Every structure is written in C-alpha cells, then in structure tokens.
C-alpha cells in the first residue's frame, strides 16, 4: 500500500517543482505514514508515500556514470514478478532486491509501454524514461488502485487521489457538472471525475506523456469469447483459478485476515486461505454477529451513535474526496478502523457479486428487460434537489444517454441467444460502471486507516473466465452464484454463515444535525438542495446525503465554483 504523485513536463523545465510535489505527497500521508521519497529532475519530479519503513521509492535505474535512465514511483502488488524476473534475467537484467517494484522498473525499461500487459496484479504507477523524456502512467485492469491526473502546460500532474492534485496549487478544485450528474444518477464514466480538469486514468489504460503531447493507450479490455468447457470442466477451471489467486493473496510475512461480510464469498476465501496457509489459523472479522466454526474470529461492535456523528462524516469526505450517498461508508470505515487494530492486511469478497451474478437484479426479469442500468439509482438523494437544479442536471436523460453509450461498448458474440447476450451485457455494465465505485470506496476508506485490503475476486483471469461462462452455469439449479458454489463445493464450510446485520445510525442524532443544517440558511448545500425536501425526509436514511454533501462543499478540495447556484 502507498501513494504516488508527481509533475512531469517533457518540454519545459520545472522550476520549483520539488516543493510542489512535496506538498502533494504530504496530502497523501494517510496512504503511507511510514515515509516518503522524492526524485527531482529537470523535466520530472516523482514522489512516493509508503506505509512501512524500508523499500525507499521512487526507485532509479541509472547508467554506469550514475545518470538516471528510468525512474519509478509504484503502488500495488504484481503477483507474477518472480516469473518476470526470471525472464528479464535471461535478457541480461541485474537485480539487487527480490521486490516486485524492481521487477516493474526493469520491465518498463525493457518493454516500455508493452510492459503493462505482462503484469498480473493490482497497481498504479508512474515511470519516467529520462532518455526519451517520456512518462508512462499505468493502472491495473479492473482499476483496484486509483490514479488521476490533470494537464499542466506541456505535461501533467498526477496522484493517487485528487486532494494531492489540489495541494500542488496547479489545479483548481471546482465541481464538474458531468461528474455531479454521474454521482446522482448512480453511474460511473471511465476516465471521468467529480472535479473539473481532473481525469481518472481508466482501468486497463496507459497514459503516455512526451514531447508529442498526451495520449491514452488501452492495453486490456473484456472480450467476448466462445466457452467450450463442459460443466465439470468449468467448475474445475474456476476452482483452479480461485486456489491460485487466493494462495497469491495470502502470501505475507504475517498472514492476512479475512473480512466476513456474511455468506458464500467470504466463506470460500476463509477455506481456501486456510488451505493455502497449510492449516495456519485464519483470523476473521465481522461487524455484528459471530461466525461459528472459525477458530480465530473477532466480532467488532460498531457504535450507532458514532455512525451518524459529524467527525466520522468529515473523515469519510476527506478520505473519498466526495460526499457519501448512504450510511454504508460510515459502517465500512469504522469496520476498517477496528480491523486495523488487529491486522494490517485483509482479504475481502468485494467483486464476487459482480463477477458471479450475485446481485438480486441479475435475477429480476423486469430489471433485465428494462432499457436502463439494472441497479438502483439514488432516488432519495435526487428527491432532495432544488427544482431548478434538478431541471438543469436532468438526471433521467443523463442516465439514459449514459446507458446507451455504455451498451454500445459491450463486447458480444455473433449468434448468441438473447438471454445470454442480455446477461453478458448486464455483467459487462456492472464491471465497467458499478464495480469501480465499490473499488474506489474500499481503497479510500481502507487506506485512510492504514489497512490494506486485497480482492481475490477481482483478478482479471477469473473475471475473463466467468464473463464468458454461459449464464445457465451461473444459475444452475435455480440458485444464484451456482458456478462459484460448484467450484468451491469441496472447500465450503459445513454451514455458510448468515449475512451480517450492520447497525444503522441513531435516527435522533441525524435529525438533530439536519435541524442544525436547516437553521443555517447560508450553508453552501442550499445552492443545490431544497430545504423543504430535506426537512420532509429528515427521518429517512437518504438525508445523510444532505449532511455529507454540505461537508464536502465546505471543506478541502470541494468548492463548487463551476455549478454554484444562488
């Protein structure tokens, strides 16, 4: 875990750039309190924050005279680095450490932009080629690790989080109207952002910055392929992938824990993790109810009063650089904070519902037949908008047009049955426009407390295989996630735990805070929200959005200069 930041201009020298990037890395201290590093060159300044002591970055590969050739600032984990190291050694590369960071550095020197497609894992990194005066920004295939950037002069500033871009003083923190539409319409535009002039590097992409300008290269995308394996072979192949992926994720000096969200996904991770660790006790954590049969389980009690408190709300907004749209953020942050007191790394089942079709709307004929995204939209939050704001944003039309464009990008196979084609569409839409928000949430809230969360179900190999498996295999016997059940049949515990009930904030605490907000007519949130609508819904959970939205507009990188109403 860590954070990266930097400023590169291949054309013009960067006067005072070291101070600029130092401010950026300071803004990322939550992503790495163990130390920071800085590389300062004429045309490139790269910064890094790391969680633990040791492993200094950025790392530099120099020539015989000590002049830098390639510089890397890296966050993530490449799980096939041992194989890549062997391949690079055969090509003449010499290594001084056994880290994946050094392997990525040499891979970029050897293969340049082609290195990205050789990496397996989750990562976001910047590599500066001093000879070519070329920067590569690289993000993993599913977008587990965040990376954003903004154009400045002939180059870019980049960072793990927008707050670091704003700390540079080179980028204004102004709300982007399309980004606000995406937030309120419950959609995600790859490459988009909640902020004007800030772009996210889309998952599976490389950004190239050199003397010719800035250009985007896609190195990975979901592809529709015929599935030729029979039922038993499909289950066996899926299990083999899960075994290998889980084994790679539990490798650590101290075995990671497992988050028990309740149900099949986390139960599979516990059992496969235990087998990979050859019987070593797996530490499990949940919020609410105990998990029988797990040796070292900790029940973490979340305080409903703290869930609705202003201090936690401000911590969430700071971590996410965005308002919260529900109380799920609060419970997740408290859970991560409590888990961090026991372990530094945990496995999570995040992504399993998207990969294996576990959400209820995957199995709702009405939702599947609609010419719309099947997942719920934020009707409660939208109901709080001022009439003029709602009319200008026109969220219904925005979501419809967003859906139309997204559907056109879904890969299909010629001659597929209508049911298979539709479920393929729904699966692809989830992976591209729903899952990224979940991944961003878990990354921001976990790194805010110094916890590393690993996501075995987001391995691209598993995603690709499940995406091309016929829907009938995912729903065999009329059960959701039948493919996952069949694959893990020999590994499941004798009884899968019930879903954990997460506490909700105290309604009285929320109502009192809403009353205080309503008594402040100068609050910036009233440029967007209707006080009468907020008062009417003050006892409903979605009113939390009004409180969070106000915090976001008041603090940090959240000044709504481009869409302000009076």
pLDDT at 502 over 70: no
Element (H, E) at 151: strand 148-152
pLDDT at 399 over 60: yes
Distances in Å between the Cα of 133 and the Cα atoms of 21, 111, 145, 239 are 18, 16, 25, 45
Per-residue confidence (pLDDT) for residue 294, from 0 to 100: 57
349, 457 Cβ separation under 8 angstroms = yes
pLDDT at 505 over 80: no
380, 542 Cβ separation under 8 angstroms = yes
Per-residue confidence (pLDDT) for residue 429, from 0 to 100: 97
Instruction: Tell me how far apart the alpha carbons of residues 358 and 452 are, in angstroms, rounded to a whole number.
Output: 25
Element (H, E) at 534: helix 531-536
pLDDT at 156 over 90: yes
User: What is the residue whose two structure tokens read 């992926």?
Assistant: 245
Distances in Å between the Cα of 38 and the Cα atoms of 20, 44, 282, 487 are 11, 11, 38, 46
Instruction: Give the pLDDT band of residue 409 (cuts 50, 70, 90).
Output: very high
CA angle 317, 190, 148 (to 5 degrees): 55
| Mean pLDDT value across residues 112-121 | 96
Lowest mean pLDDT among 252-261, 288-297, 399-408, 437-446: 288-297
> Dihedral sign, CA of 53, 81, 118, 210?
positive
Instruction: Give the pLDDT band of residue 163 (cuts 50, 70, 90).
Output: very high
12, 153 Cβ separation under 8 angstroms = yes
Which positions ≥6 away from 392 have C-beta within 8 Å? none
- What does the mean pLDDT of the chain come to? 90
- Structure token digits, residue 492: 């499941």
Kindly state the DSSP code that residue 2 receives in the 8-state scheme.
E
Kindly state the DSSP code that residue 283 receives in the 8-state scheme.
E
pLDDT at 373 over 70: yes
- Structure token digits, residue 347: 């496995």
Instruction: Tell me how far apart the alpha carbons of residues 179 and 485 are, in angstroms, rounded to a whole number.
Output: 38
Element (H, E) at 257: strand 257-259
Kindly state the DSSP code that residue 376 receives in the 8-state scheme.
-
| Mean pLDDT value across residues 498-508 | 61
Q: Are strands 452-454 and 345-347 parallel, antiparallel or unpaired?
A: parallel
Strand arrangement, sheet containing 121-129:
59-62, 68-78, 121-129, 134-139, 205-210, 213-218
For residue 85, report the phi and psi dihedrals to the nearest 5 degrees: -60, -45
Q: Are strands 44-50 and 35-40 parallel, antiparallel or unpaired?
A: antiparallel
108, 114 Cβ separation under 8 angstroms = no
What digits encode the pLDDT tens for the residues 183-204? Answer: 999 999 999 999 999 999 999 9
User: What is the residue whose two structure tokens read 């879903």?
Assistant: 499
| Mean pLDDT value across residues 270-276 | 90
| Mean pLDDT value across residues 448-461 | 95
Q: Which of 10, 27, 324, 13 is nearest to 171 (CA)?
A: 27
Per-residue confidence (pLDDT) for residue 290, from 0 to 100: 42
For residue 175, report the phi and psi dihedrals to the nearest 5 degrees: -65, 135
| Mean pLDDT value across residues 241-265 | 87
Q: Which of 329, 321, 327 is nearest to 175 (CA)?
A: 321
Instruction: Tell me how far apart the alpha carbons of residues 127 and 114 are, in angstroms, rounded to a whole number.
Output: 13
Instruction: Tell me how far apart the alpha carbons of residues 443 and 27 are, in angstroms, rounded to a whole number.
Output: 16
CA angle 543, 544, 547 (to 5 degrees): 100
Which positions ≥6 away from 170 have C-beta within 8 Å? 7, 20, 150, 152, 157
For residue 67, report the phi and psi dihedrals to the nearest 5 degrees: -75, 135
pLDDT at 16 over 50: yes
What digits encode the pLDDT tens for the residues 35-77? Answer: 899 999 999 999 999 876 556 899 999 988 889 999 999 999 9
Lowest mean pLDDT among 16-25, 245-254, 458-467, 528-537: 245-254
Instruction: Give the pLDDT band of residue 291 (cuts 50, 70, 90).
Output: very low
Question: Which percentage of the chain shows pLDDT scores above 70?
Answer: 93
Alpha helices, DSSP H, located in 394-524 = 395-408, 418-433, 435-447, 460-467, 471-474, 482-487, 507-518
User: What is the residue whose two structure tokens read 């079709």?
Assistant: 357
Per-residue confidence (pLDDT) for residue 501, from 0 to 100: 52
| Single pTM value for the model | 0.93
Could you tell me how far CA 11 lies from the centroid of its own chain?
33
Instruction: Tell me how far apart the alpha carbons of residues 205 and 202 are, in angstroms, rounded to a whole number.
Output: 6
- Structure token digits, residue 109: 């020197």
């Amino acid at each position: 875990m860590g954070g990266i930041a930097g400023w590169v201009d291949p054309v013009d020298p960067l006067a005072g750039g070291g101070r600029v990037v130092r401010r950026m890395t300071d803004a990322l201290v939550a992503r790495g309190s163990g130390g920071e590093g800085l590389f300062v060159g004429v045309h490139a300044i790269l910064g890094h924050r790391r969680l633990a002591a040791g492993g200094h970055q950025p790392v530099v590969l120099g020539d015989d005279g000590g002049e830098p050739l390639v510089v890397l600032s890296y966050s993530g984990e490449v799980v096939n680095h041992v194989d890549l190291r062997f391949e690079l050694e055969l090509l003449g590369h010499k290594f001084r450490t056994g880290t994946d960071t050094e392997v990525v550095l040499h891979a970029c020197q050897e293969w340049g932009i082609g290195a990205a497609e050789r990496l397996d894992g989750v990562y976001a990194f910047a590599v500066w080629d001093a000879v070519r005066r070329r920067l590569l920004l690289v993000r993993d295939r599913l977008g587990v690790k965040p990376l954003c950037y903004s154009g400045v002069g002939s180059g870019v500033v980049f960072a793990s989080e927008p707050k670091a871009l704003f700390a540079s003083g080179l980028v204004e923190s102004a709300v982007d109207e399309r980004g606000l539409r995406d937030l309120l319409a419950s959609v995600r535009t790859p490459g988009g952002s909640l902020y004007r002039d800030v772009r996210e590097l889309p998952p599976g992409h490389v950004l190239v910055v050199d003397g010719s300008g800035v250009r985007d290269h896609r190195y990975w995308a979901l592809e529709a392929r015929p599935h030729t394996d029979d039922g038993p072979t499909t289950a066996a192949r899926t299990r083999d992938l899960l075994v290998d992926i889980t084994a790679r994720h539990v490798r650590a000096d101290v075995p990671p824990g497992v988050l028990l969200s309740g149900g099949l996904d986390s139960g599979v991770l516990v059992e496969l993790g235990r087998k990979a660790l050859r019987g070593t006790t797996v530490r499990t954590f949940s919020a609410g109810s105990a998990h029988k049969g797990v040796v070292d389980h900790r029940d973490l009690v979340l305080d409903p009063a703290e869930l609705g408190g202003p201090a936690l709300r401000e911590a969430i907004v700071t971590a996410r650089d965005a308002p919260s749209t529900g109380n799920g953020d609060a419970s997740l942050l408290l859970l991560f904070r409590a888990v961090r007191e026991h372990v530094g790394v945990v496995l999570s089942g995040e992504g399993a519902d998207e990969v294996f079709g576990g959400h209820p709307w995957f199995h709702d004929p009405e939702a599947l037949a609609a010419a719309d995204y099947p997942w719920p939209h934020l009707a409660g939050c939208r109901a709080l908008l001022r009439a003029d704001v709602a009319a200008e944003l026109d969220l219904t039309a925005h979501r419809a047009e967003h859906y139309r464009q997204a559907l056109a990008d879904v890969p299909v196979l010629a001659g597929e049955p209508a049911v298979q084609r539709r479920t393929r569409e729904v699966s692809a839409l989830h992976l591209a426009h729903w899952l990224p928000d979940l991944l961003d949430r878990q990354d921001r809230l976990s790194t805010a407390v110094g916890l590393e969360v690993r996501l075995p179900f987001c391995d691209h190999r598993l995603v690709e295989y499940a995406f091309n498996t016929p829907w009938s295999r995912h729903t065999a016997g009329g059960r959701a996630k039948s493919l996952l059940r069949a694959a893990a049949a020999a590994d499941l515990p004798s009884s899968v735990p019930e879903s954990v009930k997460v506490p909700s904030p105290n309604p009285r605490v929320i109502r009192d805070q809403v009353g205080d907000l309503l008594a402040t007519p100068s609050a910036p949130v009233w440029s967007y929200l209707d006080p009468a609508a907020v008062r009417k819904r003050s006892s409903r959970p979605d009113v939390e959005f009004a409180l969070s939205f106000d915090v976001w507009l008041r603090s940090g990188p959240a000044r709504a200069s481009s869409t302000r109403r009076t």
